[in-house]
Amino acid sequence: MRILNIHGANDVRLDPKTPPVADSADALVEVKACGICGSDLTYIKIGGMPREPGGLTPIGHEAAGVIISIGKDVKELSVGQRVVINPMTTPSKIGSGGPEGAFTDVLLVQEARAGDNLLPIPDDLPFDIAALAEPLSVALHGVNRAEAKPGDKAVVFGCGPIGLGMVLWLADRGLTDIVAVDLADERLECARMLGAAVRVNPQRENLRARLMEVHGRARVLSRDAVGTDIFLDAAGAPSIPSDVVRMAKFHARFVISALYLKDVPMSFGAMLTTEMTITTAMGYPTEMPVVVAALPRLREKLSLMISHRYPFEKVIEALGVAGTPQSAKVMIEMVDAVS
């Protein structure tokens, strides 16, 4: 068997792996598909999560597969069941600094629980669509934190997988005035197909002027503002927080889901006059069961989010593609190693 490990900064390798063994409360899942996440690329860049000197960081956490073994104490799960894995509710922090990573042939899921860290999926749902459940849950949590509702005018910064998921959920919730912002035309086209009525490449257009055109103007004391209700940041560009604060209207909502590794400037004077709400969204404390239930209904649209597919043997090549602006979701599809 094999597993993808980070050995150091920008040093990631597909290593041999000893087959895992399930304890009485655990399950083994043969991984069928696993998506590459932006956090995987960040972990590689920084050399992995903190570990003992010389230690490895297994990665991969957007996985779907088939249960091939369960411990005697596991309830409501069975061998042969098709499942999505929720890495946030596993004690081993799958793919985020623990001993397990989902870029592997067979994954150990400790303390397996049906409907919690292992969520059953229909037999006819493709594994690549099922593996989108994790990033879609991140996106839905951001939309939920924004309290988005029909009639709201929204902007999504960044049309990678999380931003595209936000566009999809906003449209699915009934919002029609959705603006997608990205530097890559390929991603903006994907956003259009998922429900973004307007797409803006800020290298070619003035975003503030375009938002005033499509969302209308507002006034904050003596200055003009844009009529946007919700700003969702899935990009993490250093200029975005300050730009949003300076263009936001009274009681606008701004949700940051992007990872900022460095401090960014902020105009609290401009923020004070708007009484705007700025908050963050991390993970998906309650969203994954909702997302998994929606996957069959949305499967045709969701297939648009997958820009590239690679076999496990080419995962290193796939990581390079995932770091380019032309990619959306890069999916690793496993060749059967056990069944």
**What is the tens place of the pLDDT at every residue in 96-152?**
988 999 999 999 999 999 999 999 999 999 999 999 999 999 999 999 999 999 999
Q: Which amino acid is at 230?
A: I
Identify whether the C-beta of residue 281 lies closer than 8 Å to the C-beta of residue 162: no
b/e map 288-302, b = 16+ CB within 10 Å: bbebbebbeebbeeb
Give which of 158, 130, 141 is closest to 66, Cα–Cα: 130
Domains of the chain: 2-134+284-333 (3.90.180.10), 147-280 (3.40.50.720)
Predicted TM-score of the model (pTM): 0.95
**What is the tens place of the pLDDT at every residue in 220-253?**
998 999 999 999 999 999 999 999 999 999 999 9
Identify whether the C-beta of residue 67 lies closer than 8 Å to the C-beta of residue 76: no
Q: What are the φ/ψ torsions at residue 53 (nearest 5 degrees)?
A: -55, 130
CA 102/CA 197 separation, integer angstroms: 36
CA 195/CA 192 separation, integer angstroms: 5
The residues with which 16 forms a beta bridge, in sequence order, are 2
What pLDDT score was predicted for residue 337?
A: 41
